[in-house]
Every structure is written in structure tokens, then in C-alpha cells.
Amino acid sequence: MRIVTIEKLFNDNKERLQLEWAAGQTGAHRLLKGEEIMQPTTSLIGHLNLIHTFHVQVLGAAEISYLEGLPEERREQAMKRLFASEELSTIVVAGDGTPLLPLLSRYCDEHHVPLLASKRHSPYVVDVLRLYLLRELAEHITLHGVFLDVLETGVLITGASAIGKSELALELITRSNGLVADDIVELHRISPDTIEGRCPALLRDFLEVRGIGVLNIRQIFGETAVRPRKLLRLIVHLEDYNHETFSQLDRLDSAASFQDILDVPIRRVVLPVAAGRNLAVLVEAAVRNFVLNQRGIDSTKEFIERHRLALLDEDEAL
């Protein structure tokens, strides 16, 4: 189950959002659950809403001004309605919310709801925490392969064991590309059509190459040779072909293939592994070709169309 405690949310964002714990410390271990939050009938985070309560309620200048302007009786009713919601997990007061802190602190302590105070403006708090929770609670899987930043594009290299994925990754790193993860790649769906690849903490910076051992890429090649995360755009699958099979491949196959990762279709290219092929150059060429395809340029189709027109001209000349 994908979960984040309020205590973890506080610790991970304390410096960036200048957070302080104002009240409700007994609720520090309240859970934000991915399975519940990602349901279409619930909401993750937003400014104060007394009708459809967010899991993380943020009170900015406008919300604080509204509550302060209410008669005392109506303000108490609003607080009771807010804290009666089962969805409420924590409250963040952004900016100058000092006048409301005593009232909120009392309710938060009574209901064991964490109350956090931030010195940053509320829109910034909402943006930072929304992205943070989407990443932490995103649906994810792990795959075997090597994940790289090749020419600013996230590329997952897959293939059978011992086919040469790590050696290929090492050569790509020497060509100024970057390593994200080797062997085990964590893939998170951070939006309906976006997959983000990360490396497990225990494997970060390491690349295992048969015959050499485990290499610390950051120490060998420097800080610019590693990446903390990257959006997955292309899968390059290495496949071992014998000479006969390799020679029979369709050299003008223009049909794009895709592989579903967490229900997101990702472009997939199969590279035959054969003696004498420079796979690093081929991977970079595949990435450049993918970028052109994204812009609506298909070199294979253009080549076929050029020959079709040439044949038509010859027929007309006859």
C-alpha cells in the first residue's frame, strides 16, 4: 500500500515550505493513502472547502479573512463541519494566519488532526504539496533493466540477462549521458499519461558490469553522470539475433510499436544485438529519431514516399 504519514510530509517539506508544527502532534502518524486519495470521488489537496473536504486543507489569506469575518457562532459551526469530515488528514495555515491559530489549535488537539504553519504563500504551498503527494503516492511497479537519460530523454533499456545492458549503459555514460538506475527500475505513474523512473535508494549511483564489478558512477564520472529521476519516453529492447535471422529483418518497417507501463503506452524500439554493431550509437540514433517522430517527421515513410513518387515519374515518362 502506498502511504505517507503527516510526520513524513512535514519532515520532507520542512525547509522548502518553512513549516512549523503548530498543534495536533498526536495525529503525526495519520496516513495519506494512495488507494483512497486517487479515487475520483475524493480530492487530494486544496484551499479550504467545507463542502467537499480535501485531505490536506490549506488556509491562505483569503480563507483566513473569510473565517475571521464570520460571527463567532457561525465560525464555530464552520469548524465543527470541517472537523466532522472523515477525509480531513491535516491542515496547513499559509502566510499570516496567527489570529486563527488559537481556535484551530484547540480543534486540532481535540480531534488529533495535525496543524502545520507555513510562512510561504498558499498557492505555492498547494503546488509543492500536490506534486510531492502525487509522486509519493503514485501507482508504481519495478522492472528489470537500465534507465538512462540519453540526450535529455528518459530511456529504459531492457533485454535478457547477460545480453549487455550494463555495458551499453557504461558506454552511453562515457558519451555524456546520465544514469538513473541499474538492474531495478522503479516506475511511477505521476499523472494519467506520465511515467517517472527512479532508482531504489540502495542502488543509487551504482552500475554492475560483469568482469569489473560494481562501479560508483558518481565517483568515477562526476555529479553530471547521474540523475535522481527522469520521465520515461522510450523503451529500447535488446534482442539477440543470429546471422540468418538478422539478415531477414524488415529494413523498411515503419510501424511504431508500444509497450503499456501502468496503462500508459510507451514507444518501444527493438535493437538486434549482433557482432560489430555499435549499440551506443544506435541507441542515440533511436532517441534522435524518436524526437523527430514526436515532431511529425518519419524518415522511413519519407523515404518510401520519395521512391513512390520517383516510380510514378518513371511510369509517366514511359
Catalytic residue set = 144, 165, 183, 251
Q: Closest by alpha carbon to 110, among 66, 73, 75, 80?
A: 80
Q: What are phi and psi of 283, to 5 degrees?
A: -65, -45
How many Å apart are CA 229 and CA 179, to the nearest integer? 9
Q: Closest by alpha carbon to 148, among 176, 106, 190?
A: 176
Asked if 52 and 39 count as a contact pair (C-beta separation under 8 A), the reply is no
Q: Closest by alpha carbon to 235, among 141, 148, 139?
A: 148
Helices (H), ranges, the chain: 6-17, 34-37, 61-69, 72-83, 101-111, 122-136, 165-174, 217-221, 243-247, 279-294, 299-317
Q: How far, rounded to the nearest angstrom, does the alpha carbon of residue 73 sit from its chain's CA centroid?
A: 45
